Amino acid sequence: MEKKKLSLGGKILIALILSIVVGLLFMKNPTFATEYIKPLGTIFLNLLKFIVVPVVLFSIMAGIISMKDVRKVGSVGITALVYYMVTTLFAVTIGLIGANIFKGTFPAIATTDLSYTQSASTNFMQTLVDIFPSNFINPLSNATMLQVIVMAILVGFAILLLGEKAEKTIEGVNRWNDVFVKAMDMILQLSPYGVFCLLTPVIATNGPQIIGSLAKVIGVAYLCYVVHALIVYSLTVSTLGGVSPWKFFKGMAPAMIFAFSSASSVGTLPINKGCAEKLGADKDVTSFVLPLGATINMDGTAIYQGVCAVFIACCYGIDLTLGQMITIIATATLASIGTAGVPGAGMVMLAMVLTSVGLPVDGIAIVAGVDRIFDMGRTTLNITGDSACSIIVSNLQRKREARKAAKAK
């Protein structure tokens, strides 16, 4: 009998456990981990970044082409956007409720001599303008994902509307999509090594800080991440997606473990796509919805905003009013799209949230040192929400098509 091979998810889990063990061993002297292990993880992330742009470009085009109906593409896009916005609203609300319940346990941290340089913020209209590319090359070379998505949608629609004239183009898009998916599969075989090399220096560097004064704040954020996943995602995938919560989270385990280790939604995209399709999401839907979600869906980041806003307010001796909390909910929900694709989007969003309710932006310096620890959890929640959305949209589309077929008879 042939020996059963260990799955990629199993290998990643083993790498995760080993990275924690080795990271703890290097806690007293993390230099080796940061200078010699971390660069290998960076190489792996670079490979992921290299492959993600062509995968997103061609997978969205292939997904649009395979739908063969402009109205279906519009229906899928609108449903996904509504789901992402609603779950983000729930997320920031959960974050605020959780933080207010546990704020009495938050540590008292001195705020004197704090400094934080706020990134230059742009208004809504400028953000809207920046979504649309001014040329074909820059979005690809700079990995500006929202612009890449817009390019893919425009070209995909153009190919779809050309009809029979675009037969050879359709074949070419599908072949290139296959090529980059295969290259992506090759890179993903390195995932366990990448996870180990990325997480070991994080544990070695931040281990003492996790046990330190901010442990309770981090714990509250992670508790809210879990509550959001178990309540919001469980309810939506079971009622709208037709998948049991147990099956969903079990199937999502490889992507969740990888997201936790890499703290990269876009980098997790290839594994997330495979997990979602195994759980029943349609390939054409995942090709469109997941890249969109990896860019604009920020449920985990929204929880982070709520928890950190309450914590920073406590540090400055400020009690947030109900009106301020409603403002935080509205700002964080709308900013989830406004800051999409911005490097360090979590910090940019937090600065916007604090400014909206008159809290000192310098307070970000309190949590900046352990932002990576927050980021690992919020990225895991973000990509889980992306997959939940693709499963739900696929199920709703199948039901819609079944109703149309029944009416046609």
Query: Would you give per-residue pLDDT tens digits along the chain (409 residues)?
Result: 445 677 666 777 788 788 888 888 888 788 888 888 888 888 887 887 787 788 778 877 887 787 776 777 778 888 888 899 899 899 999 999 999 998 887 776 665 555 545 455 555 566 667 778 888 888 888 777 668 878 888 888 888 888 788 888 888 988 998 888 788 778 878 878 887 888 788 778 766 555 566 788 889 999 999 999 999 999 999 999 999 999 999 999 989 988 888 777 777 888 898 899 999 998 888 888 888 887 778 888 889 888 988 888 888 888 888 888 888 888 777 766 655 544 456 666 777 788 778 887 777 777 766 777 888 888 899 999 999 999 999 999 888 888 887 777 6
How is residue 112 written in tokens?
A: 């004197």
pLDDT digits (tens, 9 = 90+) for 319-337: 888 888 888 888 777 766 6
Instruction: Using alpha carbons, select from 285, 275, 262 the residue that is nearest to residue 199.
Output: 262
Phi-psi region of 318 (alpha: psi -120 to 50; beta: other; left: phi over 0): beta
CA 271/CA 267 separation, integer angstroms: 9
Coil, strand or helix: which one is 211? helix
Residue 134's CB: how many other CB atoms inside 10 A?
A: 9
Output 89-92 pairs: Cβ under 8 A, ≥24 positions apart. 89/302, 89/329, 89/333, 90/228, 90/232, 90/299, 91/228, 91/232, 91/299, 91/300, 91/302, 91/303, 91/306, 91/381, 92/302, 92/303, 92/305, 92/306, 92/328, 92/329, 92/332, 92/333
Length of the chain: 409
Which value, to the nearest 10 degrees, does the dihedral of the CA atoms of residues 14, 44, 272, 182 take?
-110
How high does pLDDT run on average in the chain? 81
> Can you count the helices (H) and strands (E) in the chain?
19, 0
CA 274/CA 320 separation, integer angstroms: 43
CA 384/CA 252 separation, integer angstroms: 7
Element holding 120 (H helix, E strand): none
Matching residue, tokens 């990896």: 294
Check: CB of residue 342 under 8 Å from CB of residue 144: no
Check: CB of residue 155 under 8 Å from CB of residue 61: yes
Instruction: Using alpha carbons, select from 207, 219, 225 the residue that is nearest to residue 103.
Output: 219
Check: CB of residue 63 under 8 Å from CB of residue 287: yes
Check: CB of residue 150 under 8 Å from CB of residue 132: yes
How is residue 286 written in tokens?
A: 């995942």
- Beta-carbon contacts of residue 35 (< 8 Å; ≥ 6 apart): none
Residue 80 CB-density burial (10 A; 0-12 exposed, 13-18 middle, 19+ buried) = buried
- For helices 265-278 and 283-296, give the axis angle rounded to 10 degrees: 150
pTM: 0.76
CA 255/CA 384 separation, integer angstroms: 8
Q: Can you give the pLDDT at residue 221?
A: 92
- Beta-carbon contacts of residue 263 (< 8 Å; ≥ 6 apart): 372, 375, 376, 379
Widest pairwise Cα distance in the chain: 73
How is residue 259 written in tokens?
A: 């997201």
Q: Can you give the pLDDT at residue 246?
A: 94
CA 100/CA 313 separation, integer angstroms: 11
CA 95/CA 301 separation, integer angstroms: 10
Element holding 154 (H helix, E strand): helix 145-162
Q: Can you give the pLDDT at residue 116?
A: 47
